[in-house]
Structure 1
C-alpha cells in the first residue's frame, strides 16, 4: 500500500511584501456632474484614451465642498464611464475623508502617492521603440505612443488626437490635439513643421489654441514645452 506524505503545515499560506503605489490623482474643483462630464469628455474623448484602465486617487486639495458618500460614489460612477477606476482618496479635511471611506475608498497619506523610484539606467535598459505613423491621422482618430515617443509623417487633422508618454514629432500640419508627456513627463516636447493645433498639452498642462496665434507661429514650424508650469510655444526658427 502506498504511503501518502502528510501536508507540510509549517509553510505560511501567505506573506506580506512591501509594494509601491503609483496612482493618478484626480483633483476636482467642483462636484457639479455636468461640468465634470464636459471636462472629462473634452480632455479624454469618448473612446480609449491615454489613461484607460488607470487606478485613480481622489485628491481633495482643490475641492472647497464637503461631499457625502453618495456624491463620492456618483463621482466614481462618472469616472468609470471614462474607464477610470476610483480606488482611493487623499488630502482634504476629516469630513471629506470620512465621506470617501463611507463610499468604500481607501484613504492614503501623501506618502502613498509618491512615485516609484526610477530604475537605475544601464546600457541594457529596455526602451519602448518610437511609434512612427506614416499615414494621415483623420478626424476622430486617436494615436497613442505608450511608454515612448511618437513621430507622425503626415497630416494630423482637426478633431484628431495624438498622444505620447514622451515627445511628439509631427512633420506635417498639426491641426488636431497633441498631448506629450501624457503620464506626467514635464520634460517632454511637441514639435511640428506647421503649428495649427486645437489643443496642446505637455505633462498634463493644457492650452486651447482657439484664439488666433501670432503670425510668427501660425502655420510655422514650432515647438511646445513647459517652463515651470507655463506652456511655451516657440518658433523653431527662433532657436539658436
Structure 2
C-alpha cells in the first residue's frame, strides 16, 4: 500500500492571491429597507449573485452586522468582511465574525503616515554592498495571447479569457456569459453577460457592435439591463470604468 502521509509542514500551504470581490455599499441601518433593496437588485439578475462573496462598505452608518449578514446569506450571497472599517465598525465586525480589510488606497495612506524605519547601516555602506554589475531580477506577469472565439456563444455557455483579452467574432446569446481578465471585443450582438477586468483591471474595456446585454461589468462594477440607458441599446458602444461607475459611450 502506498504511503499517503505527508511530511510535517508540507500538507498545508498558505498562498497570497489577488482576487476581485464585489463591494456592497450599505448607506442606512434599517434592516427591512436594506433587505428590500437587496432583493430588488438581485431580481434584475438573479443568477449573477448566486454564492457571490461580498465585502461590506459602511460609509455613513453602523447597521446590525449580525442581522445584515443574515440578510445577505438569505439572498444567496456570502458575506466575507468589511472594507475600510472605522474603529466602531471594526468592533462590530469582530462581534459578527466578519473579516476587516483595508483598500489599497487606505493601506497606502496608512503607510505614508508611518515614519520610515531607519536603517542601521550608513547609506555609503549600503551602496557599496550592492554589485552594480549584477542585473536586478523582476518577476514580470505572464502574458496570455488574446483568445479568439469564432462561433456564436449560446445560452448556457461561459467563455473565459484568463490573463488576456477576449474577441468574439460573432454574437453572445441571452443566457450566455463571456469573461476576460483584459478587454472584451464583440463583433456581433451582446445579449448575455460580459465581464471584463475579471481580476480587477480597472483599465479594461468592453467593445460591442450591437449592445443588448443582460449585464455588463468591469472590475466588479456592473450594470444590469434595467439600468442601461435606452439611447445606447442596440448600438455600437464602448464600456469603461469611470470613478467606480460604468460609462457607456456610442462608437458610431
TM-score when normalising by structure 1: 0.63
Q: Is residue 206–residue 239 contact of structure 2 (8 Å, CA) maintained in 1?
A: yes
Q: CA deviation at 1:181?
A: 1.6
Matches within 5 A, 1:50-129: 57-61=55-59, 64-69=61-66, 71-75=67-71, 77-78=73-74, 81-82=76-77, 84=78, 86-109=79-102, 114=107, 120=138, 122=140, 125-129=141-145
Which consecutive residues of structure 2, in runs of 5 or more, have no partner in the other structure?
Answer: 1-8, 109-136
Equivalent-residue separation in structure 1 for 2:50 and 2:167 (angstroms): 20
Given that 1:21 and 1:113 are in contact with CA atoms closer than 8 Å, whether structure 2 keeps it comes out as: no
| SS at 1:99 equivalent | helix
Residue 222 of structure 1, CA deviation? 2.8
SS in 1 for 2:70: helix
Please report how far the alpha carbon of residue 20 of structure 1 lies from its aligned counterpart in structure 2 after TM superposition.
6.3
TM-score, normalisation: structure 2: 0.61
Contact 2:162 2:180 in 1 (8 A): yes
Quote the Cα distance in structure 2 between the aligned partners of 1:165 and 1:141.
18
Question: Which of 210, 215, 218 in structure 2 is aligned with 1:194?
Answer: 210
Q: 1:104 to 1:112 in 2, by over 3 A?
A: farther
> Cα distance 1:61–1:27, how it changes in 2: closer, same or farther (>3 A)?
farther
Structure 1 residues 74-109: Cα deviation after superposition (integer angstroms, max 9, x where no partner): 156347x44x4x443343444433232122223345
What secondary structure does 1:185 align onto? coil
Aligned counterparts of 2:49 and 2:224: Cα–Cα separation in 1: 21
Displacement of 1:168: 0.5
Aligned length: 208
Shift of residue 169 of structure 1?
0.9
